[in-house]
Structure 1
């Protein structure tokens, strides 16, 4: 890997440098999907774009933005027609600016043509996350995908030729999937980044209703085989599910894993906001405003969002900031710098959390090198259990390390 992308200087705490935009529309709903998605209906996209413009203006009036990254996810952002995506980008640029380092568009292979790829590049996108999922037609059929393997190959090739940095998404642990062929085929196309996620059966999905299951041994086998195949071809596993050639890491997703603040725009979008934008709990409960470091907000789903409903706000105090940062940061190969986390949270993290650190180091689930704490491969596999040990620590007012600066 190039210079460690996880080792970055913290920006000023009142500046937000990352923006996520949710586009909920899809051509069809995949049987494994539990995101906020829906098929488009007459007039719905127009109403969505009008509300998006208003929400972008509201965010701009509340928060100071100097964007490094913008990420359009979904849903299927590339399912928007050319004029629609142009209007969306215009709203973002007018009110919030545009990413100076990276601007990502999620792309369904069936929507990518040379003409559309050039249009996306002209709008300012330079990175494409392509939902390949597999290069095996039988696996794609099982997953309910509307594209075939040839369309996926053509989409990736087209985007690379148009100048995009391309990330390919793969789903692993699918029954009968030729995983080695999928990985080799994707790398042969020239992608510099691969996101490999285990098939997960979420409640309420079509797969759950059908009784589809994933065996843990198949999940673990896919987890390990994916790493072996990708690292053998020169990609580095920089996060549990993400691999990249040097310099090809997702800068936007790194902001999530590093616990940075980011705005969420659109229905169902989540954001991690500076506390200085103001917040209130519906019941008046929660920590005092002086104790709040950041706020997590989640927008309501489309119909409520269109009416201007506010959604949910969760104030984050120092202990929760630390456990969130550990849960996200330990996903990274580089792990978390405890000194930096102490400065950002205002807690003496090595002292307050000495017991769970020592226990999990002894178990072989964590490794501590100076101030750098990271999860081992075995620790990655049971990260939820590791974080539970940290959640059980009782933090008192005597544990402060100084003034926190969370961004």
Structure 2
């Protein structure tokens, strides 16, 4: 196992658009979390030892943990880190300071993913963020000065947002990576309950602007929503998109392992929510068969500008004639300007990244016609 995700569910505030598994601190809750995490890490290490190439602490707000809590968390991880391993921690600007940054460096963190969302105070207030623009700028500058690789999260296409200003501010700061998303209004969130609806036209215009502004600043779009300077791509997230194996620790965390046996290609493990996870409930296990693996491989690989190696996907899935089955659909999608083909490598065009669903659907339909889920052809 070369990649590990660790979920920290605690947040100082819960944003009105958030549907992640997050909770506020409560008496003894972090203590129980850390105790259960140590036991889960030991058990997983016994099954999947190895040296980690990437470690990602997501949330929630991992930087919300106190210094001693973070020290216990890292001490609970038995895996060694490979030379040059990427260790990412998600952080909110208000939880950082020079002293905290130095502490994170001591623990081995070398990359920060900062949930900035915007550099405009009215937009931040509308999003329910606890920080202001000045605090976000300070946090980014201090993190860069402390030697971290820094990624900034931005939400684009919001009402009243000056998108160009946010993009130009992020680029001018000199960060190596920008994750640019549109607002997803998920059922059950406060935004959904008040009837907030995204504007697809405004969001499309915002993404077009992101390509232009960030591209001119040297941040190339290497994934649907991610832009990076050369060498600054998120190596942990690339493991997901390239369908590598990864482990997951913490409530609601997921893992992906190859089985190499039986009809299944891979196994997905998903931990239960915090109360059941803390009580020791094991993860749910789902077998991923050849068809689903091939569909997921296309979905994840075509998120990347580099695309997916169809020959490798055929070997992993066991669907030996996968390239032949997909050929007619690929030809149509090439003619529409959504896909590009070089030998066994299938890549999305820039338009294909923008219209990923339109590029994927014909490929999935071709797979389902050739390899019905019940195995009858």
TM-based fold match above 0.5: yes
Look up the match of 1:45: 30
1:285-324 equivalences under 5 Å are 290-324=262-296
Alignment of 1:167-178 (within 5 A): 167-178=151-162
Query: How far, CA to CA, are the matches of 1:99 and 1:58 in structure 2?
Result: 21
Consecutive aligned runs of 4 or more in structure 1 exceeding 3 Å deviation: 394-397
1:387 positional shift: 2.4
Q: Distance in 2 between matches of 1:236 and 1:363?
A: 23
**C-alpha offsets along residues 265-291 of structure 1, whole Å, 9 cap, x if unaligned?**
000111112326xxxxxxxxxxxx512
Distance 2:123 2:151 in 1: 20
Q: Is the counterpart of residue 330 in structure 1 residue 306 in structure 2?
A: no
* 1:396 shift after superposition: 4.9
Find 1:354's aligned residue among 300, 313, 327.
327
Whether the 8 Å contact between 1:37 and 1:75 is mirrored in structure 2 is yes
Q: How far does the alpha carbon of each residue in 1:25-44 deviate from its partner, in whole angstroms, 9 at most, with x for none? A: 00010011110001111100
- In the TM superposition, residue 390 of structure 1 has moved relative to its aligned partner by 2.8
1:375 and 1:343 map into 2 onto residues whose CA distance is 21
- Which piece of structure 1 moves more, 381-390 or 32-41? 381-390
Q: For the structure 1 residues 314 and 390, does the alpha-carbon distance in structure 2 shift closer, same or farther, using more than 3 Å as the test?
A: farther
Query: Could you say which residue in structure 2 is the equivalent of 1:30?
Result: 15
The whole-number CA distance in structure 2 between the counterparts of 1:171 and 1:238 is 18
Q: CA RMSD in A?
A: 1.5
TM-score, with normalisation over the residues of structure 2?
0.94
Kept in 1: contact 2:248–2:255 (CA 8 A)? yes
**Structure 2: distance between partners of 1:213 and 1:256:** 29
SS in 2 for 1:353: helix
Measured in 2, the distance between the counterparts of 1:175 and 1:65 equals 47
Number of the residue aligned with 1:74: 59
CA distance in 1 between counterparts of 2:133 and 2:251 reads: 31
Query: Which of 81, 100, 116 pairs up with 1:98?
Result: 81
- How many positions carry a matched residue from both structures? 368
Partner of 2:137: 153
Query: Pick from 216, 223, 242: which aligns with 2:207?
Result: 223
Corresponding position of 2:375: none
Secondary structure of 1:130's counterpart equals strand
> 1:119-268 counterparts in 2 under 5 A?
119-268=103-252
Q: If the length of structure 1 is used for normalisation, what is the TM-score?
A: 0.87
Answer whether contact 1:356 1:390 (CA < 8 A) is retained: yes
